[in-house]
Amino acid sequence: MMENLIWGYVYPNEAEIQWSILIVLYPYITGLVAGAFIASSLYHVFGKKEIKPVARFALLTALSFLLVATMPLLTHLGRPERGIEIMFTPHVTSAMSGFGYIYSFYLIVVVLEIWLSFREDIVKNALNSRGWKELLYSALALFSYDISEKALHDDEKLAKRLAIIGIPSAAFLHGYVGFIFGGIKANPWWSTPLMPLIFLMSAIVSGIALLILLYIIAMKLRKHAIDHKCLHSLAHYLWIFLILDVTLEMLEIISMKYESLEEIEIINRLLSDKIATTFYGVQLTMGIFIPFVLLLLVGMIKNRETLKMIMISISSVFVLIGVFAMRWNVVIGGQEISKSLSGTLTYVPVFFSKEGVLPAIVILTIPFIILIVVTYILPPWKDMEEEPERNPDK
């Protein structure tokens, strides 16, 4: 059976593919965090008022996914209690050991940002409720109930500064994931300095797409009208970042093909055989081309809000699937070519196992559960449900 999975000359220790679907999930989840945070900073830093309805919701989304970002790695490696040791004794020459610190720093920034933007609600809740609720919200308010205009103004100022720090940290958090792959010189499919940028752009794309979907779903569940201005603005940014993303991805492939270094033969085989469907079909056509056209049409069509909303939703779903395929093509594709550069291997996902599809699905479900809990404690609906349309003809 194994013979069918191998073509050409491969080294013995490569026969089993070590980085499984969980390692595909890791950059995917980290990307969603970075993307959601950057979407929220469009409002917090760049003052894009039309994003306001989802700005705080985006922060909560970022937090929910950030809390599970390390989970695929820890599940893959086993012995999660040893994970902290990478922070206790980080090695200076290890890119991986920086992650613990970047992650923690980013977590602090996101938590502080959320705390500052929800503080007014927290204090009001603490003052207006009794029992365990009062205790919870008082603790969240750190037993300090000053919501005078001056205090809130100071909060806003600090929140803006934090968001300014947050953007480079989000970029760093995810660019670093790309760097880990881009820095592996033995693998021609990974080794490129463009990798951090490619990862970052696809992260932003997937984060915005997730935010759009969650926003639409939340509004449908709460039976509230969708703010189309906000939705279109998000779709617009999705479209712009989609262009940047595809430019970088194509640039890498084109320069690889044009240079035609010795690894080109195996890369061609990878692209035309091993990952042809997931690369051309899912990543490029479904994940980029179709959403690109749909979002372009959304920008051109006048009125017909329901149609546009459906088109935006389809684009977002396709983008999310496409970005997952992109992670798959990088992580799995890179391992399907042998270090000999003259043979290929095949990854066969299993369902029930520590490295299987089931734990991947479980891990991908957890952030949504966290999001439900967090939005229950800190409801962001107020800004989403403010009367969105001031001029009714729009």
Partner 1 sequence: MNGREPLLLNGEKIMQPHLKRAFTLLALVIIAFIFVRSLVVPQSFGQYGWYRGDSVNEIKNFQVEYAGSAACGEENCHKTIYSVWAKDRHKTVNCETCHGPSEEHVGNVRIMPPPANDSRDYCGLCHFKRAARPANFPQIDPETHGENLKCTYCHNPHKPWFI
- Residue 91 in the binding site for partner 1 (CB under 8 A): yes
Q: Are 236 and 209 in contact (CB under 8 A)?
A: no
Please report whether residue 137 would count as binding partner 1 according to CB under 8 A.
no
Other CB atoms within 10 A of residue 225 CB: 11
Of the candidate residues 158, 217, 254, 372, the single one contacting partner 1 (CB under 8 A): 158
Using CB under 8 A as the binding rule, whether residue 386 contacts partner 1 is answered as no
In whole angstroms, the minimum distance from the beta carbon of 137 to partner 1 comes to 13
C-beta closer to partner 1: residue 10 or 170: 10
79 is an interface residue for partner 1 by CB under 8 A: no
Which of 78, 81, 148, 186 binds partner 1 (CB under 8 A)? It is: 148
At closest approach, how far in Å is the CB of 102 from partner 1?
Answer: 15
Per CB under 8 A, does 274 bind partner 1? no
H or E, element range at 342: strand 342-344
Q: Is-contact 135 81, C-beta < 8 A? A: no
Query: Does the protein bind partner 1 through residue 86 (CB under 8 A)?
Result: no
Q: Exposure of 259 by Cβ count < 10 A (0-12 exposed, 13-18 middle, 19+ buried)?
A: exposed
Backbone angles phi, psi at 248, to 5 degrees: -65, -40
Of the candidate residues 77, 96, 108, 225, the single one contacting partner 1 (CB under 8 A): 108
Q: Does 265 bind partner 1 (CB under 8 A)?
A: no
* Cβ at position 132, least distance to partner 1 in Å: 21
**Minimum separation from the CB atom of position 155 to partner 1 (A):** 8
> CA 55, CA 68: separation in Å to the nearest integer?
21
Q: Does 150 bind partner 1 (CB under 8 A)?
A: yes
Out of 132, 143, 352, 376, point to the residue binding partner 1 (CB under 8 A). Answer: 143
Contacts for 239 with CB less than 8 Å, ≥ 6 apart: 292, 295, 296, 299
Residue 310 CA to residue 349 CA, distance in Å, equals: 33
**Contact status: 155 vs partner 1 (CB under 8 A):** yes
Q: Which two tokens stand for residue 154?
A: 């100071």
Under rule CB under 8 A, residue 186 binds partner 1: no
**Segment near partner 1 (CB under 8 A); pick from 4-12, 36-44, 213-221, 229-237:** 4-12
Nearer to partner 1, 11 or 46 (CB): 11
Rounded CA gap, 163 and 26, in Å? 24
Q: Tell me if 195 sits within 8 A of 178, measured CB to CB.
A: yes
For 309, the token pair is 């909303």
**Would you count residue 107 as binding partner 1 (CB under 8 A)?**
no
CB of 347 to partner 1, least distance (A): 14
Stretch binding partner 1 (CB under 8 A), from 51-59, 150-158, 226-234, 354-362: 150-158
Q: How far is the CB of 167 from partner 1 (least distance, A)?
A: 20
The answer to whether residue 142 forms part of the interface with partner 1 (CB under 8 A) is: yes
Q: Assess 15 for contact with partner 1 (CB under 8 A).
A: yes
Rounded CA separation 45/159 (Å): 9
From candidates 45, 102, 151, 290, binder to partner 1 by CB under 8 A = 151
Longest dimension (CA), the chain: 72
Any contact of residue 3 with partner 1 (CB under 8 A)? yes
CB nearer to partner 1: pick between 79 and 390: 79
What's the min distance (Å) between Cβ of 87 and partner 1? 8
Long-range contacts of 228-232 (CB under 8 A, 24+ apart): 228/305, 228/308, 228/309, 228/388, 228/389, 228/394, 229/50, 229/388, 229/389, 229/394, 230/50, 230/51, 230/52, 230/53, 230/54, 230/388, 231/308, 231/309, 231/312, 232/298, 232/299, 232/308, 232/312
Is residue 95 part of the contact set for partner 1 (CB under 8 A)?
no
Closer of 143 and 376 to partner 1 (Cβ): 143
**Bridge partners of 344?**
7, 337
Q: Is the dihedral of CA 174, 179, 180, 181 positive or negative?
A: positive
Does the protein bind partner 1 through residue 170 (CB under 8 A)?
no
Cα angle vertex 217, ends 214, 220, to 5°? Answer: 150
C-alpha to C-alpha distance for 277 and 284, rounded to whole angstroms: 10
Q: Which residues lie near partner 1 (CB under 8 A)?
A: 2-3, 5-6, 10-15, 87-89, 91, 108, 112, 115, 119, 141-148, 150-151, 154-155, 158
